[in-house]
Chains A and B, each alone.
Chain A
Amino acid sequence: MHSTGYCQALEKAAEIEVPARARFIRTIILELERIHSHLLWLGIAGHIIGFDTVLMQTWRIREPVMWLAEQITGNRKLYGMNIVGGVRRDIPEALHPKILEVMDQVEKETKAVLEAVVNDSTIRMRLEGVGKVPNSEAIAHSILGPSARGSGVAIDIRADHPYAAYAETGVNVIVETGEDIWARTVVRIKETLESVRIIRDALAMMPKGPIQAVIDKPIPPGRVGCSSVEAPRGETHHFVITSEEPRPYRWKARAPTFQNLQVVPLAILNETIADVPITVGSFDPCFSCTERVEAVDVRSGQVRVYRKKELEELSRAFTRRGR
């Protein structure tokens, strides 16, 4: 996800044309990531509301997707698939039946879970009408991803500004108008099915050809590149300035969680304490993406700014602590 964003930003900065096959492989990997992320979220949501059957069953459905990713890329989670100018590994013809088989299985089982969850009155009583984010507030706070789509805001980078091979496969943006946690849940389950559809189409449409662009000259310094990717949680933006070194001069990634969490105080207003965990959880927060630090001297109230060198030394001391 982030590696795609970074590579796309750098490719835009250096004006590198990515081969079509590489774009399709990127799409397949991105959608595999979305499937497993949404199923993971569904399990955790079930766990938060104390319904561990959902956790066990969705994670069971998710596991073949992880094994498939391990076979395609060489790792369950840190795929390491992207490289500037393309992808590192091809998806061989021999793996196509296996991918389709796993997709059929995921589709069948996700549909069964969706049906069971929709008919389950306990889950609906727990999630319907709770953690409401009205459409106007969702737009005002500019929340992103499935959280926004559950409030009836039809935004999706894949459809609005297509990247990779989404222009070819097309994306049906799934929008629910319930504005509550239940709507966000249904958006995520339906998006899983949509991802299965996209992977099937991408596999069928995948052209033959090289998987890496030929980069024969060094990337010029001082160029600026920016790209947006639809992560499972929402939009991710990457901004890169190139330098003479083989590393970027400046790189900034913006993940969607910080943005989405701004609406939480509104969503938990007048709710019971028991509903707070699932309301926060319904935005699929990634708390490590949310960490911000400000060093304030308590006595004088002065804010201290750390220089790059000081931060480097701090982090080195942190790394060395175990040795």
Chain B
Amino acid sequence: MFKGKIQEALICFAHPRVTLKYPFEPLEPPEGFRGRIAVEVERCIGCGGCANVCPSRLIRFYDEGDRTRMEFILDRCTYCGRCADVCPENAVTMTKEFETATDDLRDLYIVQELYMGTCNRCGRCFETENWIDKIPTRRHREGARFLGPATPHTEPIQEVRR
């Protein structure tokens, strides 16, 4: 009758403590871990590929005249990493950051605006094919005025949605 109890006690004694001191000691996730996504605006070309593949549709692109407005509503993110897979410029990457708990949902909300070329015919945004075409666009002008050289052609907007 007590055989099982003794066996259970032996299992318990053989493994004294396995829990980690996690909140007090930092925990490093393994290589290839998919944490919170990071968006690098300078690299983005506004193609909208990430918005197209996102299974929970948390990435939204809005066409607003000469600029594209991008919204990332990260509280719905399932960390699948498809956006990082399809991004042709590696502007979206998965970081190792996993401590995303917050008491304010606005912390998980990213808005970015990207000045793009505007089609003369339909008025929609497009990415110019070469740098010479880019010169008349507002992205180039704003970039040249505020950010120095034309390469960092964007500016993250510190905006909070109501």
Contact = CB atoms under 8 A, between A and B. Distances in A.
Interface of A: 53, 56-57, 60, 63, 67, 70-71, 74-75, 78, 80, 88-89, 109, 112-113, 115-123, 246, 319, 322-323
4 closest Cβ pairs, A-B complex: A120-B4, A119-B4, A116-B7, A80-B80
A75 B34 contact: yes
B33 interface: yes
A119 B18 contact: no
Contact of B4 (A63, A78, A88, A121): A121
B18 A74 contact: no
B106 to A, nearest CB: 7
Main secondary structure of the interface of A (DSSP, over half): helix
Nearest to A53: B8
A87 B72 CA distance: 26
Contacts of B162: 323
A80 B77 CA distance: 12
Contact of B34 (A63, A80, A120, A322): A80
A218 B46 CA distance: 23
Contacts, number: 68
Range class of the B interface residue count: 20 to 34
B75 to A, nearest CB: 8
Contact of B7 (A60, A70, A119, A121): A119
Given A121-B1, A323-B162, A74 B33 contact: yes
A228 B152 CA distance: 50
A120 to B, nearest CB: 3
B33 A116 contact: no
Given A70-B30, A121-B1, 16 more contacts: A57-B8, A57-B11, A70-B33, A71-B31, A71-B32, A74-B34, A78-B80, A80-B82, A112-B7, A115-B7, A116-B7, A116-B11, A121-B4, A319-B76, A322-B105, A323-B161
Contacts of B85: 88
B11 A75 contact: no
B29 interface: yes
A117 B11 CA distance: 11
B69 to A, nearest CB: 17
Nearest to B109: A323
B78 interface: yes
A246 B54 CA distance: 11
